[in-house]
Amino acid sequence: FRSIFFPVPEACELGNQIIVAQSDGVVRQKQPLPSRFEPEKQSVSESVSLPAQPVSQQKTNKRQRGDVGVTDQMIEDYVRTVIRENIAAALKMEETFIQDDRSFSEYGLDSILSVNVIKLINKQCNITLQTTVLFDYNNVNQLVRHITQAYKPALISLLKKNLPPVEDQKDAWEEVNHTGYATEQNLTHDGGIQRRQKDQGKDAIQVERSAERVYEKETVQIKTFMQQDSIAIIGMSGRFGKANSIHELWKYLANGTELVEEVTRWDLSGKNISCKYGSLLEHIDQFDPLFFNISGLEATYMDPQQRIFLEEAWKALEDAGYAGSGMDGRLCGVYVGWGGSDYESLFGDQVPPQAFWGNAGSVIPARIAYYLNLQGPAVAVDTACSSSLVAIHLACQSLWSNETEMALAGGVCIQTTPKFYENAGRAGMLSPTGHCYTFDDRADGFVPGEGVGVVVLKRLRDAIADGDHIYGIIRGSGINQDGTTNGITAPSAISQERLERHVYDTFGIHPEQIQMVEAHGTGTKLGDPIEYGALTRAFRHYTDKKGYCAIGSIKTNIGHAAAAAGVAGLIKILLAMKHRQIPP
């Protein structure tokens, strides 16, 4: 059940109570085992099955415990049974109903259960799996291959200790089939592992795509246009939480100030919302439509995300020295990350046609392009939390390919209803304590934030030739997807590491020269360790040096600004370089 609450807590004193709960719709019932399976399931902690071998190789003399060789098949059988039994126990289901090629998430194995399962597997196999491993190896087959390859010596040592003396095994060798080999059915010692599906996987070709294997096989193809020039950041502007400009933002960052406070935009007291804190923008209802030649009627029905991004895009161009008629007709692209809108839900039935395009995400970049007559692409990007960074990546691509001569890129996230709080709260993502504890043992989820950020980009050689002020340069960028993980929202350390190393190699970046990493760092028990582990392994491929690179996340200050989170981190880095200070 979820969303459990007690509407009349005072009734407890009377010996009665009313409990209201929402069912998840899953009904677990104990079912009889299919007849083809052994009715008695035996514990993996007692002993292991013996290897099949020719009768001619059997020794008649008595040997001590552990003298029998441990085969790869024995290791695989043991690990597979440990995994299956612990998952079945955690989910309170029969082991025989677990299919080895189905994702753990399909069985309802959530992050809390995953941590407990990994602890038990570590104990029974005498290994040290990270609690995040189920995100990278998300079914039984993948996890078995990973464990048997990464921890083979430890497993051999463990199994040798558990092998019974050979004289106790002689009954297992008495019956042989016509080929001269002991049958698999007779190779199970009392208390050992029953191989219930002996033909499973024999005809399947199974390939594990680990980060190391895939990376070593890939040929890094460096595009000529990427080698030619870096991308200069020549202007920027933004608003995040209570910071109405990037200059105010730096004051808060330099002092280590948290801009999270109790939400007052809506009354959340009567709602079943776990987190009532946020870092929300101020004055989202204020806008000067006449400055942009927009009527008051149209402005009223414009999503605040359109209004405020339009303002900050203009300010970023002002900061770069290019606002006004000088942009008329230029090949300037506009790339904006956004994550949907709920503003239209506040309207009644009778709305003017302006409400149609006033709430379209595609119009967010089109507004500034229309107002300034920009001739480059105008693209809205929705890739969830990475939206603004993907928008910046696409802007860099357009500059490298000479599709544009300049680009505006960034992201925006503004909430006009509490829907995000309700949806994220039901998903268990929000912090009930109201803090983003990034890379911290106190981590219990993230706090929603709002923001808008825009940067102005040019090719470095053009920026130098034009005498532009340069805040910093983008040496390289890259994007990828996690692929199949333990759930659609779960990250992959393998994919993250692969992408990081690809960018380092493609653009000639040595991690030993990196002084600061601005991480995603949402403040979750599983997501943060995955990100930290991927970075560590990526760095270790190039250097063994320690204690030279700071890591942090602006979410500890402004919460999680969703589609604007990435550009917020970029602006933080640029401000840190400008002031020559790594903020606390």
Looking at residue 248, its amino acid is E
pLDDT at 234 over 90: yes
pLDDT at 6 over 70: no
Angle (CA) 521 526 530, round 5°: 65
Query: CA 390 to CA 409: how far, in whole Å?
Result: 9
Query: CA 438 to CA 450: how far, in whole Å?
Result: 18
Between the CA of residue 231 and those of 116, 214, 297, 470, what are the distances in Å?
46, 29, 40, 10
Phi/psi-derived region of residue 559, left when phi > 0, alpha when psi is between -120 and 50, beta in every other case: left
Looking at residue 567, its amino acid is V
CATH fold of 10-49+70-162+188-208 reads: 1.10.1200
Looking at residue 477, its amino acid is S
Summarize the confidence of residues 252-268 as an average pLDDT: 96
Catalytic option among 125, 396, 435, 560: 560
Predicted confidence at residue 9, as pLDDT, reads 65
For residue 32, give both structure tokens.
């009889």
Active-site residue flag, 560: yes
Place of tokens 């928008």: 391
Predicted confidence at residue 205, as pLDDT, reads 35
Query: CA 448 to CA 555: how far, in whole Å?
Result: 9
For residue 454, give both structure tokens.
């825009």
Written out in words, the top-level CATH class of the domain with range 228-579 is alpha beta
- Least confident segment among 62-66, 163-167, 416-420, 502-506: 62-66
Predicted confidence at residue 80, as pLDDT, reads 94
pLDDT at 290 over 60: yes
Query: CA 536 to CA 456: how far, in whole Å?
Result: 31
- Least confident segment among 203-212, 250-259, 463-472: 203-212
Place of tokens 């801009």: 259
Summarize the confidence of residues 426-437 as an average pLDDT: 94
Identify which of 527, 545, 523 has the alpha carbon closest to the alpha carbon of residue 536. Answer: 545
| pLDDT per position as a tens digit, 13-23 | 666 667 776 66
- Least confident segment among 72-76, 282-286, 411-415, 566-570: 72-76
Which of 126-140, 198-212, 278-292 tops mean pLDDT? 278-292
Q: What is the pTM of this model?
A: 0.73
Is the pLDDT higher at 322 or at 206? 322
Identify which of 287, 265, 272, 253 has the alpha carbon closest to the alpha carbon of residue 22. Answer: 272
Find all residues with CB under 8 Å of 221, minimum gap 6, and list them.
none
Active-site residue flag, 520: yes
Summarize the confidence of residues 302-323 as an average pLDDT: 97
Residue 127 C-alpha from the chain's centroid: 25
| CB atoms near residue 454 (< 10 Å) | 32
Query: CA 566 to CA 411: how far, in whole Å?
Result: 8
Q: Look at residue 561 and give its three-state secondary structure.
A: coil
- 3-class secondary structure for 89-133? HHHCCCHHHCCCCCCHHHHCCCHHHHHHHHHHHHHHHCCCCCCCH
pLDDT at 191 over 80: no
Catalytic option among 125, 393, 396, 520: 520
Summarize the confidence of residues 439-444 as an average pLDDT: 94
Active-site residue flag, 385: yes
Q: Domain locations in the chain?
A: 10-49+70-162+188-208, 228-579
Summarize the confidence of residues 469-478 as an average pLDDT: 97
Predicted confidence at residue 43, as pLDDT, reads 44
Is the pLDDT higher at 200 or at 479? 479
pLDDT at 345 over 70: yes
Find all residues with CB under 8 Å of 134, minimum gap 6, and list them.
104, 109, 114, 117, 118, 143, 486
pLDDT at 186 over 50: no
Angle (CA) 359 363 367, round 5°: 120
Catalytic option among 125, 275, 385, 396: 385
Predicted confidence at residue 58, as pLDDT, reads 44
What percentage of the chain has pLDDT greater than the value 70? 78
Which of 4-13, 138-147, 404-413 tops mean pLDDT? 404-413
Summarize the confidence of residues 222-235 as an average pLDDT: 70
Place of tokens 């083979």: 152
Predicted confidence at residue 218, as pLDDT, reads 45
Place of tokens 């600004």: 561
pLDDT at 297 over 90: yes
Identify which of 238, 239, 241, 301 has the alpha carbon closest to the alpha carbon of residue 265. Answer: 241
Q: Look at residue 85 and give its three-state secondary structure.
A: helix
For residue 221, give both structure tokens.
């193809």
* 537, 495 Cβ separation under 8 angstroms: no
Instruction: Give phi and psi for 336, each to the nearest 5.
Output: -130, 130
Predicted confidence at residue 31, as pLDDT, reads 55
Average model confidence (pLDDT) for the chain?
Answer: 83
Between the CA of residue 450 and those of 56, 132, 189, what are the distances in Å?
74, 29, 62
Q: Look at residue 501 and give its three-state secondary structure.
A: helix
| pLDDT per position as a tens digit, 29-80 | 555 544 433 444 444 444 444 444 444 444 444 444 444 578 999 999 999 9
Summarize the confidence of residues 513-538 as an average pLDDT: 94
Find all residues with CB under 8 Å of 61, minimum gap 6, and list them.
none
Between the CA of residue 177 and those of 55, 185, 388, 433, 439, what are the distances in Å?
10, 11, 66, 66, 59
| pLDDT per position as a tens digit, 443-458 | 999 999 999 999 999 9
pLDDT band at 201 (very low <50, low <70, confident <90, very high): very low
* 412, 336 Cβ separation under 8 angstroms: yes
- Least confident segment among 54-68, 282-296, 381-395, 435-449: 54-68
pLDDT at 321 over 80: yes
* 367, 382 Cβ separation under 8 angstroms: no
Query: CA 192 to CA 172: how far, in whole Å?
Result: 12
Between the CA of residue 458 and those of 312, 378, 506, what are the distances in Å?
18, 16, 20
pLDDT at 212 over 60: no
For residue 173, give both structure tokens.
């060798």
Query: CA 414 to CA 561: how far, in whole Å?
Result: 9
Predicted confidence at residue 525, as pLDDT, reads 86
pLDDT at 553 over 60: yes
Identify which of 576, 534, 539, 537 has the alpha carbon closest to the alpha carbon of residue 554. Answer: 576
Pairing of strands 231-240, 451-459: antiparallel
Q: Please report the DSSP string for 246-263 in residue order.
A: HHHHHHHHHTT----EE-
pLDDT at 330 over 50: yes
